[in-house]
Amino acid sequence: MGNGLACMPKKDLRGGIGSRSRRGSYSRSQRKTAASEEELLHHRALAMAIHQHQLSQRFDGSMSRRIGSTSSRRRDLPDSVTNGKLPPAFLENLETRKIILVHGEGFGAWCWYKTMSLLEESGLLPVALDLTGSGIDQTDINSITSLEDYARPLITCLQSLPDDEKVILVGHSCGGAIVSYALESYPRKVSKAVYVCATMVLNGQKPFDVFSEELASADLFLQESQFLVYGNGRDKPPTSIMFDKQQIRALYFNQSPPKDVALATVSMRPIPLAPIMEKLSLTTENYGTVRRYFIQTLDDRILSLDVQERLVRENPPHGMYKIKGSDHCPFFSKPQTLNKILIEIVQIPLENALNDPS
């Protein structure tokens, strides 16, 4: 499983027409196999997403295990990189091999399926989880009244870790605020935090503030938005947001493959409103002790590059990366590049990360 199957074979150094013929035949066969594998992967993911709404209450806060990696500083990386498996000896010397992938608003653990596969091939240990009311978690969206409610599956996961074990947190979009909340709550459980075009807010900011330039101020949005859902009745405050499919495609998936867009449009759920309207309380004693890295997406229509630059400028991370040609969902539009960056970040030694001024 994964894009690693598409790696090209080494050149046949013997030359000759016969060797070129065999090489061409082998390459065509390999590409065909890789395409078939990817097609099967898409079908399975889509079928799982369509089926998720029929699942019973016994599926409570699912988590999927897999594998991940590391690096730092501002760089532009091509999407042609291939993912090699890290040597066992190297894996043993990593500070941690475990990566927890935190999805953004409306998404679920399902959105990380490519990243999970690629990280697993590298020998790391990724976990993708569903936040409350997301993915196949059956919690009623209208009952989520706080960031604490929304983040509970991640906090429970961190609480369950052995005292001497740390993880790397990776948050996408509004999942960045959930990561920040976790850093404030359990800083000693987190080795590094990675914000993928995410809400890396300051103390006292709301996650929604990050999107205000694109979606208007919170007050104006709550007064005029046609996307608000009043799950507890029109006489009560709105409980969630739901964009229509056309807007989801335009805002989130302007560079993503059609199959992944199809997967997302049948899988995304309403966005609970309370967590993104809540101000975060972040301290230097807790949140400030964890090394942070930010990944910018340069063709992002929901979180513009200007906004991403401002986030980094106002709340400087230890390192920053840029992904060219990526929309708001690099796990779909640029999975290989995202994987390469994550692997680099995993490999940054503790002393180097602490001395990294970028």
pLDDT higher than 90, residue 72: no
Confidence band (pLDDT; 50, 70, 90) for 315?
very high
Per the residue annotation, which of 69, 122, 173, 240 is the catalytic one?
A: 173
Which carries the bigger pLDDT value, residue 203 or residue 33? 203
Element at 63 (helix H, strand E): strand 63-65
Mean pLDDT, residues 258-283 taken together: 95
Over the stretch 330-345, which tens digit does the pLDDT of each residue have?
999 999 999 999 999 9
Average pLDDT value for the chain: 79
Q: Is 185 a catalytic site residue? A: no
Partners of 299 in the β-ladder? none
Per the residue annotation, which of 300, 318, 326, 333 is the catalytic one?
A: 300
Lowest mean pLDDT among 46-60, 122-136, 138-152, 218-232: 46-60
Which carries the bigger pLDDT value, residue 9 or residue 48? 48
Mean pLDDT, residues 263-275 taken together: 94
Distance CA 117, CA 68 (A): 9
High-pLDDT (> 70) share of the chain, %: 69
Over the stretch 137-183, which tens digit does the pLDDT of each residue have?
999 999 999 999 999 999 999 999 999 899 999 999 999 999 999 99
What is the model's pTM? 0.77
Q: Is 103 a catalytic site residue? A: no
φ, ψ at 299 (rounded to 5°): -120, 40
Distance CA 319, CA 77 (A): 14
Q: In what order do the strands lie in the sheet with 240-241?
A: 228-229, 240-241, 271-272
Element at 65 (helix H, strand E): strand 63-65
Residue-level pLDDT at 29: 56
pLDDT higher than 60, residue 264: yes
Over the stretch 89-147, which tens digit does the pLDDT of each residue have?
567 778 888 999 999 999 999 999 999 999 999 999 999 999 999 999 999 999 999 99
pLDDT higher than 50, residue 69: no
Q: Is 25 a catalytic site residue? A: no
DSSP-assigned states of every residue in 182-243: HHHH-GGGEEEEEEES---PPTT--GGGGGHHHH--HHHHHHH-TTEE-TT-TTS---EE--
Per the residue annotation, which of 240, 318, 328, 333 is the catalytic one?
A: 328
